[in-house]
Amino acid sequence: MIKNTVRDWRIHGAFAQTPLLAGVLPRSGLHYLTASDVQAKDAVIADLATAAASDIVAYGLSSPDAAGARSSLSGFFGHPVGSATPVAIITSADRADSLSRAVQANALARGVCRPIPIAVLGLAGVGSGHLTGAHARVAELAEWMQAEHGVSLGLVVLDLALPHGELNAFKRPDRAVLVAGDAAPAALDGVIIEVAADRLTVAKPATGEPWAREFALEAVRVEGLDALTVRPGKDVEPSPVWQAAKPAARKVVAPTPELPIVDRYALIVSRGELGTALRNKWLLEGYEIVQSEQAALPKVGEIEGGKREIIVAGEDQLPSELRARATRLEWEAVARGVREDIIVRVAA
């Protein structure tokens, strides 16, 4: 019972307690589930999808745990599931039926007795190099769910190998994408879940530290065939396989000694005849006066063991005009092959 939430009302019932899908996934971004055991992977995918799509905290058909309670099936591995969202699961054509049965079995184990919005698609030709067009099929499903039921597709599980470009095509601001594969990238912003035969490890959670929990697989009869469900066990010390990429070490580059100035030129920009005062100012400071880029720039091989300093100055020009002239000078130096022989400054 949830006490004192609305002016002394005592409310009974399950309410979303987390913004995370199944209590582990943010509602956007790219996330990974890696697995060393195929049966365990299918059962965990089905259980996670059921938790995300049902928002039901239930006890289901599982046997009591060591303490005699069935609450180990509440949420997803004991985590509150948050509000429900439709889920799409895409796998290879030969595995679609078994994953569908796993979804039904995990819904039964949770005690979900009403339809939940989970859709499974099997694609042929996956891994053979043919374009699958999987993102187009997801778009069709998302449009249908919105048109027929007024809900948005919130989680796409990709249980197949697709190039990175196709993974990005599934991403939306309000949709999470969970990729099931053999390994997760070392550099990833999303959540990383690792599944072994009897243990689930959240190697990179949305928040907080990594955690792990044991589980057992239990068979439930669906359509005359056995399908495996997940029965969480005790918490255990996490020992994730995935490791974050180490930041690249900063390369320390020794500063290049600055070459000395071997001569000085003043490129004077003037709209008329150059005034005596301006000419004398730069002559007295040791600059040779020129009025064209061609005269200011050295010839190839002319400057040895240093650089030529070129000051761009003027009498009645705007600063922007002088900067533009300096840019023209630099481009001309590039064209002549002497850009490394000069230092260009604009007079204040």
- pLDDT tens track for 246-303: 766 666 666 667 788 899 999 988 877 778 888 888 888 899 999 888 899 999 989 8
Distance CA 5, CA 214 (A): 35
Percent of the chain whose pLDDT exceeds 90: 30
- pLDDT at position 187: 78
Two tokens, residue 310: 């070129």
Distance CA 173, CA 262 (A): 59
CATH value of 20-236 in 3.30.300.90, 3.30.70.1380, 1.10.10.10, 3.40.50.300: 3.40.50.300
Mention every residue, 6+ apart, whose C-beta is less than 8 A from residue 16: 55, 80, 81, 82, 83
- pLDDT band at residue 196 under the 50/70/90 scheme: very high
What are the boundaries of each domain within the chain? 20-236, 261-346
Q: Report pLDDT for 33.
A: 95
Half-sphere exposure of 249 (CA within 13 A, CB side): 3
> Does the pLDDT of residue 197 top 70, yes or no?
yes
- Indicate the pLDDT class of residue 183, thresholds 50, 70 and 90: confident
pLDDT of residue 288: 92
Query: Quick one: which H or E segment has residue 228?
Result: strand 225-236
- Residue 257 corresponds to which amino acid? P
pTM: 0.65
Burial class (CB in 10 A: 0-12, 13-18, 19+), 179: buried
The string of pLDDT tens digits covering residues 19-72 is: 888 889 999 999 999 998 999 999 999 999 988 888 654 544 444 455 444 444
> Mean pLDDT across the chain, nearest whole number?
82
- Chain segment 122-151, per-residue pLDDT in tens: 887 655 444 456 777 888 898 888 888 888
Angle at 332 between CA 327 and CA 333, to 5 degrees: 95
> What sections of the chain are H helices per DSSP?
38-54, 96-110, 134-149, 164-170, 276-284, 293-296, 319-336
CA–CA dist 51, 133 (Å, integer): 27
